[in-house]
């Protein structure tokens, strides 16, 4: 009966989040679902992904964090972040607080540009404003700068904002939400299939992580990649696994998806960069 209740709860969550609820209502239902599904996990622990719900994986992860493989990226990112452009400016000039401790506020809705601005996009907009070519979103320089900026926001609470009085902003949020729950690809899966309905269950040798907290640790060093990578790179990987259409890094589709997912993690501490398998 308890399992049946949880299955019904998951179905109702997916249905109401997709169709009826406001962002604030979405957030409340989202948290309530995972609190019910993982009652022994404190809210702030969800920023650790699968390591919050799998004790064996957590022990191995804690050992790795003693000498984190992303440390070099932070150091390189700091040096790149502080290096002056040819016009004498640097990245810090493009952000509040000189770019330190601001990543918890990304992505955000830019009313002037009428689009969601992620931290990665903001870095390239900064370069373009200084007359410097944009970095490729797969480039180590960009992921290293992201790693440093996110590191300066550690323990600050995720603070994505949806201006509900702005129809375009709300539309972008809803598009991201729809993307998350919409089944696609040859396997007919959605993001929610794995990370809401089946979170905590095993697929082959891996435990499926809960959606709550999914955005707090990026960029991450993945053992599978052997390098630090971005959240959008992971979106592409998931699309491949579902045999679904892939979108470009920092496409509108993925930025809207990040907007929705980040809002769903509001209030959780930033703990990136981090390590994942």
Using alpha carbons, select from 146, 173, 184 the residue that is nearest to residue 255: 173
Token pair 């799998």 in the structure block, residue: 54
Residues 204 and 103: their CA atoms lie apart, in Å, by 34
- CB burial of 40-66 (b: ≥16 within 10 Å; e: otherwise) equals ebeebbbbbbbbbbbeebbeebeeeee
Q: Is 178 helix (H, G, I), strand (E, B) or coil?
A: helix
- Overall size of the chain counted in residues: 277
Q: Where are the alpha helices (DSSP H) in the chain?
A: 2-19, 23-37, 55-64, 71-82, 119-129, 140-151, 167-181, 191-192, 231-241, 252-264
Per annotation, catalytic residue among 7, 14, 126, 238: 238
**7 noted as active-site residue:** no
CB 48 within 8 Å of CB 62: no
Residues with catalytic annotation?
A: 238
């Amino acid at each position: 009966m308890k399992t049946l209740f949880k299955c019904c709860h998951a179905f109702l969550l997916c249905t109401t989040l997709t169709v009826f609820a406001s962002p604030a209502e979405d957030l409340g239902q989202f948290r309530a679902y995972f609190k019910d599904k993982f009652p022994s996990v404190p809210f702030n622990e969800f920023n650790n992904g699968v390591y919050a719900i799998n004790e064996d994986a957590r022990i191995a992860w804690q050992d790795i964090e003693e000498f984190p493989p992303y440390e070099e990226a932070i150091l390189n990112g700091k040096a790149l972040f502080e290096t002056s452009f040819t016009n004498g400016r640097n990245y810090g000039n493009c952000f509040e607080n000189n770019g330190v401790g601001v990543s918890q506020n990304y992505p955000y809705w830019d009313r002037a540009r009428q689009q969601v601005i992620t931290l990665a996009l903001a870095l390239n907009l900064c370069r373009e404003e200084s007359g410097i070519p944009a970095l490729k979103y797969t480039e180590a320089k960009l992921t290293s700068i992201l790693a440093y900026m996110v590191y300066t926001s550690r323990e600050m609470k995720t603070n994505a904002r949806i201006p509900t009085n702005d129809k375009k902003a709300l539309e972008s949020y809803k598009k991201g939400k729809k993307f998350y729950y919409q089944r696609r690809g040859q396997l007919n899966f959605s993001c929610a299939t794995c990370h809401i309905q089946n979170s905590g269950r095993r697929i082959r040798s891996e435990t499926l992580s809960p959606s709550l907290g999914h955005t707090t640790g990026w960029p991450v060093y993945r053992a599978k990649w052997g390098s630090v990578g971005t959240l959008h790179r992971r979106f592409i990987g998931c699309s491949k696994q579902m045999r679904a259409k892939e979108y470009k890094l920092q496409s509108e589709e993925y930025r809207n998806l990040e907007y929705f997912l980040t809002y769903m993690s509001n209030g959780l501490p930033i703990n990136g960069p981090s390590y994942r398998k």
